[in-house]
Structure 1
Amino acid sequence: MNQNTPAFKEVIDAHVAIEQWLSGNAPADQFDALMARFSRQFSMITLPGKVIDYQGLHSVFQHAYGKRAGLEIGIDELQLIATGPNLSVVSYREWQADAAGNRSVRRSTVVFEHNTNGALRWRHLHETPVTD
């Protein structure tokens, strides 16, 4: 796994930002920077199978600031599924643990849009819980 691959770097960097936001360790004025990572056409299939869009994600993050004290997020098993001039697809495993003792593991697949300036934006995310 080459973590210098732009799509891999974005998966890791985004999760650092999410961890900081949810744990309350990010400055509250970082909300717009967090949301800028996501396409306005963003969609997500959540762990329970609910579909949310950009506005849904916006609401989730807006209300979740600082709600996961001690949150740690780890990313591994990154795989580049496909890449092209406008899109990249990456799968990865994510684990989360927080100070309240909540723990979860999920496998996720993300589709990135490539912007004209070369930046990657999260276009679609599908999460599946790991129960073993």
Structure 2
Amino acid sequence: MTHPAFKEVLDAHVAIEQWLSGAAPATELDALMARFSAQFSMINLPGQIVDYQGLQQLFAHAHGQRAGLQISIDELQVIGEGPRLCVVSYREWQVDNAGNRSLRRSTAVFERHNGALRWRHLHETTVAG
């Protein structure tokens, strides 16, 4: 059985891939941001903390900037969960038409809100080599 958080990780990355590659129309920003809690925080690859508004600005400026982007997710694991929160880890591969490639491991905290899972916190780490 697939965990609901796994489905959200996969579905969100499809939406992010489409947004960054430009396959999604610019009118989809609100739908993309609806996946994230208003209290969202992220520790990005350089170690900076990004809040909800910062993520929204990042997405607004990055629309269509990664032509041909493909994102693959694997190694999904539930780290822990309770009535309000669920913690998941996964591995993420990215490649685009410019030849940019990256591999990262991420840990995401989801909050349950009105029957849906919202991204509450994300910590990304580059996998070297």
TM-score, normalised via structure 2 length: 0.98
2:117 to 114, 120, 125: 120
For residues 44-83 of structure 1, the aligned pairs below 5 Å read: 44-83=42-81
What is residue 110 of structure 1 aligned with on the other side? 108
The gaps in structure 2 that reach 5 residues or longer are none
Q: Which residue of 2 aligns with 1:41?
A: 39
Q: What is residue 21 of structure 1 aligned with on the other side?
A: 19
TM-score (norm 1): 0.96
Cα deviation code 1:103-131 (max 9, x no counterpart): 0000000000000x210000000000000
**SS state of the match for residue 85, structure 1?**
coil
Structure 1: runs of 5+ lacking an equivalent:
none
Corresponding residue pairs, total: 129
Output the CA distance in 2 between the equivalents of 1:99 and 1:78.
26
2:97 equivalent in structure 1 = 99
Instruction: Tell me which amino acid in the other structure corresponds to 2:94.
Output: Q
Q: Percent identity?
A: 73
Structure 2: distance between partners of 1:63 and 1:11: 22
Query: Amino acid of the residue matched to residue 109 of structure 1?
Result: T
- Render the CA deviation track for 1:23-61: whole Å, top value 9, x for unaligned: 000122111000000000000000010111001000000
